[in-house]
């Protein structure tokens, strides 16, 4: 990149060349700024276009890196608004093309990536600004305005420089109107010339500066560096470039401003100014010529970017990078002072439920309130950071023993158990806290963080809402988890998965009216595993969709066998993972499977939790409407355990509400009063929906539910989950009994 003086010289030479060749000054009308929008998301491109079209810019769009490069190769753009994540090549490669091809354009990077390396990489490649998604519209508009304003200023500088060697009059005119401070010093460092820009930026007139030493302007801490800037004796390519200094402001200007100084030393030989009988081999040094450009706003932007690179934008807490840096310093201090240090890993319980049911905006508000509460419990020497999501981590130095840490953990748990208010809604959460001690549980940053994380998961497994210190036995449990994850990858290939079915009984007739499909894993070493023991691993490792594909095909094959064996068709309820509904093309796969196996859609009921459709209502409405058009019924599982609004029940095509077993378990005597169960049954009847009670285990529960108006029940009182062969046998026996009763009734008549 040219230094400032070279920009002035080259622009002025081009300008005067035009004057001499063209016979006069040509005034150009500036065309509208051309802006290239690069993003692989059509909605984002449309949103950017709508936001920028009012600015009078000429817009072009690209949905991939190669398309952006094609645009840049064919036409000139003033600005590229570039997404770093593109489907073919990365935004960094597009910026590398701009650099290698010397494309004259500026770049504003927008990215959803919170990685500090991404921001630093973009800035090193010359990005004007780096915005993280989601960004405020005012933030983007300001960045676009700043970069185009800077280009305008640069263009003005070039136009100014075109006239520098054409005539002294033109030179003086443009020097005085330059956006930079232009100055000359004599060999003693006294100002001999300075343009009017100094008054606009520093509040000092040229008359006040002429004859004064440069040090009167320089910040005290920068005086030593200023000597190499203002008393510069080198010339041409050896002259000092891009040196930053802080200059004082006067006359009510309350802030120091930062300047980038580009210098050119003037000597007799370079200026062609010689005294009579001058020795050409030893020209006399006359002074310094320089241009100072105000880069205060750029420095502020760099400081802001650097701050965001080390802090979490949402909570303003240190992020992972800054935490590790501070933890490293604390470890060194603990070694020196022979004290203990604790790393505390904090994970919020039930945050996902709040986030899914109330939305990400409320979830962000909750995280901000949590951060404020936790910070109020800290000492100044402690470091609290947010790792992402609902995970926080804390470094606590200068400890005597574990009891000190336990008291701090209990203090955190107590403060988090107080209610949070998100709008008008009261929300209660808890936390699982894992603790690792230095030097007992590790001597490195990685060991301490990993062991605190293991201790936190141990609390999760024990029921959450508590704290635990790391113990070496937790490593074995963690290893066992990895083994399960690895075995799960092979379970599908080995045919170790199997469908079980738990019947749903109409207690008024004793008939089995439906069966809920429940997956089991015949693990070669651990035996029969229930869904809660392996499906969470499947969701974490991207196996939920292939496992759900297998489940759908297996249920269809079982239905074919039942329909062939039994006289009456059986309706099967299958639980649907949110991942499968949103990303697994479930409706298309179900439609194809039913058609291929010639199964009636009326035999299928889809069970989803209420949080599944609340997290993306519009998508859920579309999917459920398609299922209903197909003839499939829909049930809400675990109804009443989330934060759903009753208004959703009228928007969605729902056929059945299932009362969660946690409510059923609270029925201990027939005269009990369970307002939640009564409310659910009342809601179902009012909306014309079926209602099914889960987890019925006692006669008392059954009689209470039946009197309340719920006749369809599911639970160990009637049937445990059984393989398909036993279910077929059970259904066949019931059909036989029903047939015998029919014959007996016919004979009696």
CA atoms within 13 A on the CB side of 126: 17
**CA-to-CA distance for 374 and 296, rounded, in angstroms?**
36
**CA-to-CA distance for 717 and 713, rounded, in angstroms?**
9
Q: What is the DSSP string of 448-511?
A: HHHHHHHHHHHHHHTTSSEEEE--THHHHHHHHHHHHHHHHHHHHHHT-EEEEEEEEEETTTTE
**CA-to-CA distance for 226 and 223, rounded, in angstroms?**
5
Structure tokens at 632: 């499939």
Residue 593 confidence (pLDDT): 93
- The helix or strand, by DSSP H or E, that contains position 537, with its residue range, turns out to be helix 535-540
Instruction: Identify which of 110-114, 175-179, 553-557 has the greatest average pLDDT.
Output: 553-557
- Eight-state DSSP code of residue 654: -
Residue 175 phi, psi (nearest 5): -60, -45
Can you tell me the mean pLDDT for 482-503?
Answer: 85
- The helix or strand, by DSSP H or E, that contains position 320, with its residue range, turns out to be helix 320-337
- pLDDT digits 0-9 by tens, 431-480: 999 999 999 898 899 999 999 998 998 888 778 899 999 887 776 555 56
> Cis peptide leading into 134, omega within 30 of 0?
yes
- At residue 379 the predicted structure's pLDDT band, cuts being 50, 70 and 90, is confident
Residue 25 confidence (pLDDT): 46
- Higher-pLDDT residue of 253, 527: 527
Superfamily of domain 180-274+282-301: PAS domain (3.30.450.20)
- Higher-pLDDT residue of 236, 627: 627
End-to-end, the C-alpha distance of the chain in Å comes to: 105
- The helix or strand, by DSSP H or E, that contains position 263, with its residue range, turns out to be strand 257-267
Can you tell me the mean pLDDT for 498-502?
Answer: 95
- At residue 396 the predicted structure's pLDDT band, cuts being 50, 70 and 90, is very high
- Find tokens 């701009």 and name the residue: 98
Q: Are 249 and 202 in contact (CB under 8 A)?
A: yes
- Higher-pLDDT residue of 195, 448: 448
- At residue 273 the predicted structure's pLDDT band, cuts being 50, 70 and 90, is very low
> Cis peptide leading into 439, omega within 30 of 0?
yes
Q: Are 356 and 610 in contact (CB under 8 A)?
A: no
Does residue 316 have a pLDDT over 70? Answer: yes
With a pLDDT cut of 90, the percent of the chain lying above it is: 31
Partnered with residue 561 across adjacent β-strands are none
Produce one character per residue of 34-59: b if its CB has 16 or more CB atoms within 10 Å, e if not.
bbbbbbbeeeebeebeeebeeeebeb
Q: Are 383 and 394 in contact (CB under 8 A)?
A: yes
Low-confidence winner among 25-39, 49-63, 392-406 (lowest mean pLDDT) = 25-39
**CA-to-CA distance for 396 and 126, rounded, in angstroms?**
39
CATH 3.90.1150.10 fits 4-161, yes or no: no
Q: Are 710 and 702 in contact (CB under 8 A)?
A: no
Could you give the residue range(s) of every CATH 3.30.450.20 domain in the chain? Answer: 180-274+282-301
- Eight-state DSSP code of residue 26: P
Can you tell me the mean pLDDT for 48-63?
Answer: 86
Residue 711 confidence (pLDDT): 94
Tell me how far CA of residue 161 lies from CA of 103, 249, 600, in angstroms.
22, 27, 81
Low-confidence winner among 373-387, 570-584, 606-620 (lowest mean pLDDT) = 606-620
Does residue 23 have a pLDDT over 60? Answer: no
Q: Which pairing describes strands 257-267 and 285-294: parallel, antiparallel, or unpaired? A: antiparallel
Could you give the residue range(s) of every CATH 3.40.50.2300 domain in the chain? Answer: 4-161
- Higher-pLDDT residue of 641, 559: 559
Q: For the structural domain made of 318-471, what CATH number should be given?
A: 3.30.70.270
Q: Are 162 and 18 in contact (CB under 8 A)?
A: yes
Residue 204 confidence (pLDDT): 79
Can you tell me the mean pLDDT for 312-332?
Answer: 93
- At residue 272 the predicted structure's pLDDT band, cuts being 50, 70 and 90, is very low
Low-confidence winner among 229-233, 345-349, 578-582, 618-622 (lowest mean pLDDT) = 229-233
Low-confidence winner among 70-79, 474-483, 598-607 (lowest mean pLDDT) = 474-483
Does residue 17 have a pLDDT over 70? Answer: no
Does residue 274 have a pLDDT over 50? Answer: no
- pLDDT digits 0-9 by tens, 276-300: 445 556 656 667 777 777 777 777 7
- At residue 400 the predicted structure's pLDDT band, cuts being 50, 70 and 90, is confident
Nearest to 111 by CA among 98, 102, 97, 121: 121
**CA-to-CA distance for 693 and 102, rounded, in angstroms?**
70
Residue 745 confidence (pLDDT): 62
- The helix or strand, by DSSP H or E, that contains position 725, with its residue range, turns out to be helix 724-748
Residue 10 confidence (pLDDT): 59
Does residue 96 have a pLDDT over 50? Answer: yes
Q: Are 590 and 556 in contact (CB under 8 A)?
A: no
- At residue 242 the predicted structure's pLDDT band, cuts being 50, 70 and 90, is low
Low-confidence winner among 86-100, 160-174, 693-707 (lowest mean pLDDT) = 160-174
Average pLDDT score over the chain:
81
- At residue 250 the predicted structure's pLDDT band, cuts being 50, 70 and 90, is low
Does residue 3 have a pLDDT over 80? Answer: no
- At residue 568 the predicted structure's pLDDT band, cuts being 50, 70 and 90, is confident
With a pLDDT cut of 70, the percent of the chain lying above it is: 82
Rg, the chain, Cα only: 37
Can you tell me the mean pLDDT for 55-65?
Answer: 88
- At residue 254 the predicted structure's pLDDT band, cuts being 50, 70 and 90, is very low
- Higher-pLDDT residue of 606, 15: 606
- pLDDT digits 0-9 by tens, 627-643: 889 999 999 887 766 55
Residue 618 confidence (pLDDT): 76
**CA-to-CA distance for 334 and 397, rounded, in angstroms?**
7
Q: Which pairing describes strands 391-399 and 383-388: parallel, antiparallel, or unpaired? A: antiparallel
**CA-to-CA distance for 383 and 346, rounded, in angstroms?**
13
Q: Are 581 and 620 in contact (CB under 8 A)?
A: yes
Cut 0.75: pTM above it: no
Produce one character per residue of 222-254: b if its CB has 16 or more CB atoms within 10 Å, e if not.
beebbeebbbbeeeeeebbbebebbbbbeeeee
Superfamily of domain 482-737: EAL domain (3.20.20.450)
**CA-to-CA distance for 223 and 179, rounded, in angstroms?**
24
- Higher-pLDDT residue of 254, 363: 363
Can you tell me the mean pLDDT for 31-54?
Answer: 87
- Eight-state DSSP code of residue 248: -
Can you tell me the mean pLDDT for 130-136?
Answer: 82
Residue 264 confidence (pLDDT): 34
Strand locations in 585-738, DSSP E? Answer: 604-609, 633-639, 656-659, 690-694, 712-714, 722-723
Does residue 717 have a pLDDT over 90? Answer: yes
Question: Which region, left, alpha or beta, applies to residue 611 given φ > 0 means left and ψ of -120 to 50 means alpha?
Answer: alpha
- Find tokens 């995280």 and name the residue: 367
- Give the list of residues 6+ apart from residue 286 with CB closer than 8 angstroms, or none: 186, 187, 266, 267, 268, 271, 273
Low-confidence winner among 24-38, 128-142, 423-437 (lowest mean pLDDT) = 24-38
- Give the list of residues 6+ apart from residue 325 with CB closer than 8 angstroms, or none: none
**CA-to-CA distance for 477 and 573, rounded, in angstroms?**
34
Strand locations in 314-388, DSSP E? Answer: 340-349, 383-388
- At residue 412 the predicted structure's pLDDT band, cuts being 50, 70 and 90, is very high
């Amino acid at each position: 990149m040219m230094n400032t003086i070279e920009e002035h010289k080259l622009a002025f030479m081009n300008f005067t060349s035009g004057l001499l060749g063209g016979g006069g000054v040509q005034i150009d009308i500036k065309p509208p700024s051309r802006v290239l929008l690069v993003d692989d998301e059509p909605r984002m491109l449309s949103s950017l276009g709508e936001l920028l079209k009012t600015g009078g810019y000429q817009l072009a769009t690209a949905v991939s890196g190669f398309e952006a490069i094609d645009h840049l190769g064919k036409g000139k753009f003033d600005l590229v608004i570039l997404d770093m994540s593109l489907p073919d090549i990365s935004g960094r490669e597009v910026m590398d093309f701009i650099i290698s091809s010397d494309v004259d354009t500026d770049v504003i990077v927008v990215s959803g990536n919170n990685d500090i390396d991404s921001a630093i990489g973009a800035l090193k490649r010359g990005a004007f600004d780096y915005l993280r998604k989601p960004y405020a519209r005012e933030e983007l508009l300001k960045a676009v305005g700043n970069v185009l304003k800077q280009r305008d200023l640069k263009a003005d500088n070039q136009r100014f420089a075109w006239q520098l060697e054409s005539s002294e009059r033109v030179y003086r005119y443009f020097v005085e109107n330059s956006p930079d401070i232009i100055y000359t010093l004599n060999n003693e460092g006294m100002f001999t010339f300075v343009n009017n820009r100094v008054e606009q930026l520093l509040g000092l007139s040229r008359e006040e500066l002429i004859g004064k030493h440069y040090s009167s302007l320089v910040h005290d801490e920068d005086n030593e560096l200023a000597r190499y800037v203002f008393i510069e004796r080198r010339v041409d390519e050896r002259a000092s470039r891009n040196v930053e200094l802080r200059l004082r402001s006067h006359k009510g200007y309350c802030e120091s401003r930062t300047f980038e100084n580009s210098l050119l030393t003037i000597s007799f030989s370079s200026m062609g100014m010689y005294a009579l009988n001058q020795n050409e081999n030893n020209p006399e040094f006359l002074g310094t010529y320089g241009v100072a450009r105000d880069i205060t706003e750029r420095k502020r932007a760099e400081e802001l970017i650097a701050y965001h690179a080390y802090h979490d934008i949402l909570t303003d807490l240190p992020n992972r990078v800054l935490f590790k840096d501070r933890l490293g310093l604390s470890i060194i201090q603990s070694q020196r002072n022979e004290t203990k240090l604790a790393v505390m890993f904090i994970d919020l319980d039930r945050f996902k439920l709040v986030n899914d049911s109330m939305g990400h905006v409320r979830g962000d508000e909750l995280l901000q309130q949590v951060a404020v509460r936790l910070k109020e419990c800290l000492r100044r020497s402690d470091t609290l950071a947010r790792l992402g999501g609902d995970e926080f981590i804390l470094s606590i130095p200068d400890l005597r023993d574990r009891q000190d840490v336990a008291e701090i953990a209990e203090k955190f748990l107590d403060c988090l158990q107080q209610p949070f208010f998100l709008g008008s809604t009261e929300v209660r959460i808890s936390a699982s806290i894992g603790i690792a001690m230095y030097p007992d549980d590790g001597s490195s940053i990685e060991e301490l963080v990993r062991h605190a994380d293991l201790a936190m998961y141990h609390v999760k497994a024990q029921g959450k809402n508590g704290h635990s210190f790391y113990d070496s036995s937790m490593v074995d449990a963690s290893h066992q988890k990895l083994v399960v994850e690895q075995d799960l990858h092979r379970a599908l290939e080995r045919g170790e998965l199997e469908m079980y079915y738990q019947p749903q009984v109409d207690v008024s007739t004793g008939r089995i009216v439906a069966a809920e499909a429940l997956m089991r894993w015949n693990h070669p070493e651990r035996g029969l595993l229930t869904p809660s023991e392996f499906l969470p691993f499947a969701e974490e490792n991207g196996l939920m969709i292939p496992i759900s594909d297998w489940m759908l095909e297996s249920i269809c094959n079982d239905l074919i066998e039942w329909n062939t064996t039994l006289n009456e068709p059986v309706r099967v309820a299958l639980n649907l993972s949110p991942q499968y509904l949103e990303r697994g093309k479930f409706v298309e796969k179900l439609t194809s499977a039913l058609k291929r196996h010639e199964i009636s859609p009326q035999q299928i009921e889809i069970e989803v939790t209420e949080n599944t459709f609340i997290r993306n209502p519009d998508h859920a409405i579309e999917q459920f409407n398609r299922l209903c058009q197909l003839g499939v019924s829909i049930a809400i599982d675990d109804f009443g355990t989330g934060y759903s609004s009753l208004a959703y029940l009228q928007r969605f095509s729902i056929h059945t509400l299932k009362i969660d077993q946690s409510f059923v378990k609270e029925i201990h005597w027939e005269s009990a009063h369970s307002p939640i169960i009564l409310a659910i049954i009342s809601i179902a009847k009012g909306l014309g929906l079926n209602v099914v009670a889960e987890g019925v285990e006692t006669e008392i529960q059954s009689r209470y539910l039946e009197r309340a108006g719920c006749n369809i029940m599911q639970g160990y009182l009637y049937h445990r989950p059984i393989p398909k062969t036993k279910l077929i046998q059970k259904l066949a026996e019931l059909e036989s009994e029903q047939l015998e009763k029919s014959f007996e009734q016919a004979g009696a008549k």
